[in-house]
């Protein structure tokens, strides 16, 4: 029987050659939001990996929405031109579909890069004022965010729209709206971060409102034939927080609005989270949402082995497999997965002679 992992799959009208998705991975290597030569190398090697889809890292829709000052952005013409250079070079040598994750970090913005400690940088120390649903900091010692008022909500929504239009001009194949990992849209969803008393807080319906408004605006701004989906954290891993049953309600609302896929992650909104980081620890969330909603579902989270990925698909727990850190460790992960599963893999002609004799027949 042929491998499910290497069967083609369609997200809306976007045809993927296989079911491996390179999940977004922040590189913290941009200058004023502009992609650099690092991105040229990084995107280039990912695009030659043989995966079915590459999702560009969390890309801020406004400067205040960056996680760090070195985050990629898509809020102005310079950002667009810099990313265009990277994409042009990549497309010259790879036909891999490329998506982008549009994001706003909210109260988790203005931090140092991970290898510089990752701590929040307060405005008085050279950072910037963060924004959020409520003036509740992510950690108690951090500088509190400003609660977004009506004008702020409109500004952020408009920033997502403008970034979506720029992505369309760049020829991006799909958009993933970032609603996970404790960033702004997740902050609206979670009662742990959202203490509002207006129409955007309190009840589940109210907490869904702003993320759904952003999704609707992005969907309207991006060409209808190209997919738009959302990445979510299915659980806060904290009692009284966002959970998988609320995630089902969100996914149902997204499906009704024309979402093409849902990418199921977890955690990130609270320092009190208790995450059992074992292989496939988030797959059950993907399975629950897929069964209840029927949207094409991407499972991600410590999926590192080809057989593990294949078993998830065979069990009907997800439709696609997201691989992130394992791809950084082994940028030829799809090649090695194909060899393990006996599947054929399209490889750039410059690399055709590199395979060991016993698996060279797998290179189509």
Residues 6+ apart with CB under 8 A from 257: 212, 215, 216, 219
Nearest to 56 by CA among 76, 75, 35, 37: 35
Quick check: helix, strand or coil at residue 277?
coil
Tens-place pLDDT, residues 250-295: 999 999 999 999 999 999 999 999 999 899 999 999 999 999 999 9
Tens-place pLDDT, residues 141-175: 999 999 999 999 999 999 999 999 999 999 999 99
User: Which backbone phi and psi does 245 adopt, to 5 degrees?
Assistant: -70, -35
Please check the confidence at residue 91 and state whether its pLDDT lies above 90: yes
> Which ranges in 48-149 belong to alpha helices (H)?
77-91
Which pLDDT score is estimated for 346?
86
Share of the chain above pLDDT 70, in %: 99
Please check the confidence at residue 32 and state whether its pLDDT lies above 90: yes
Query: Known catalytic residues?
Result: 183
Four-CA torsion 338, 340, 343, 346, nearest 10 degrees = 20
Dihedral class, residue 114 (left if φ above 0, else alpha if ψ from -120 to 50, else beta): alpha
Instruction: Average the pLDDT over 123-138 and give the result.
Output: 97
Please check the confidence at residue 11 and state whether its pLDDT lies above 60: yes
Please check the confidence at residue 75 and state whether its pLDDT lies above 60: yes
Which pLDDT score is estimated for 138?
97
Tens-place pLDDT, residues 182-199: 999 999 999 999 999 999
Contact (Cβ atoms closer than 8 angstroms) between residue 51 and residue 96: yes
Please provide the average confidence, as pLDDT, over all residues in the chain: 96
pLDDT band at 243 (very low <50, low <70, confident <90, very high): very high
In the chain, the domains with their CATH numbers are: 9-362 (3.20.20.70)
pLDDT band at 45 (very low <50, low <70, confident <90, very high): very high
Contact (Cβ atoms closer than 8 angstroms) between residue 114 and residue 129: no
Residue entry with tokens 């997800």: 318
Please check the confidence at residue 204 and state whether its pLDDT lies above 60: yes
pLDDT band at 352 (very low <50, low <70, confident <90, very high): confident
Please check the confidence at residue 62 and state whether its pLDDT lies above 70: yes
Residues 6+ apart with CB under 8 A from 179: 185, 186, 189, 211, 230, 231, 232, 233, 250
Tens-place pLDDT, residues 293-320: 999 999 999 999 999 999 999 999 999 9
Please check the confidence at residue 356 and state whether its pLDDT lies above 90: no
Which pLDDT score is estimated for 103?
98
Between 152 and 353, residue with greater pLDDT: 152
pLDDT band at 364 (very low <50, low <70, confident <90, very high): low
Instruction: Average the pLDDT over 201-228 and give the result.
Output: 98
Quick check: helix, strand or coil at residue 317?
coil
Which pLDDT score is estimated for 1?
54
């Amino acid at each position: 029987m042929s491998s499910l992992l290497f069967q083609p799959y369609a997200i809306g009208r976007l045809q993927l050659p296989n079911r491996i998705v390179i999940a977004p991975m922040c590189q913290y290597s941009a200058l004023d939001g502009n992609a650099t030569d690092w991105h040229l190398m990084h995107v280039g090697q990912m695009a030659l990996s043989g995966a079915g889809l590459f999702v560009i890292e969390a890309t801020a829709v406004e400067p205040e929405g960056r996680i760090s000052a070195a985050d990629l952005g898509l809020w102005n013409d310079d950002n667009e031109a810099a990313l265009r250079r990277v994409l042009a070079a990549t497309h010259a040598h790879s036909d891999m579909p490329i998506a982008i994750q549009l994001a706003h970090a909210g109260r988790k913005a203005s931090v140092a890069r991970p290898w510089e400690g990752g701590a929040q940088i307060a405005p008085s120390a050279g950072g910037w004022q963060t924004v959020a649903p409520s003036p509740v900091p992510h950690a108690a010692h951090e500088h509190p965010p400003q609660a977004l008022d009506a004008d702020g909500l409109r500004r952020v929504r408009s920033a997502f729209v403008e970034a979506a239009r720029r992505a369309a001009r760049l020829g991006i194949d799909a958009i993933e709206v970032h609603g996970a990992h404790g960033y702004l849209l997740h902050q609206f969803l979670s009662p742990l971060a959202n203490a509002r008393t207006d129409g955007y807080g309190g009840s589940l319906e109210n907490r869904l409102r702003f993320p759904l408004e952003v999704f609707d605006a992005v969907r309207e701004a991006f060409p209808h034939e190209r997919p738009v989906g959302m990445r979510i954290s299915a659980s806060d891993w904290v009692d009284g927080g966002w959970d998988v049953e609320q995630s089902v309600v969100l996914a149902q609302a997204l499906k009704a609005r024309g979402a093409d896929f849902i990418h199921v992650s977890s955690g990130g909104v609270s320092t009190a989270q208790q995450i059992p980081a074992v292989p496939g620890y988030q797959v059950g969330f993907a399975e629950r949402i897929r069964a209840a909603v029927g949207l094409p579902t991407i499972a991600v989270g410590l999926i590192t082995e080809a057989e593990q990925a294949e078993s998830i698909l065979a069990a009907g727990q997800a439709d696609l497999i997201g691989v992130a850190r394992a791809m950084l460790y082994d940028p030829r992960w799809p090649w090695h997965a194909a060899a393990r599963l006996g599947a054929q893999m399209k490889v750039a002609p410059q690399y055709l002679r590199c395979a060991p004799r016993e698996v060279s027949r797998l290179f189509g």
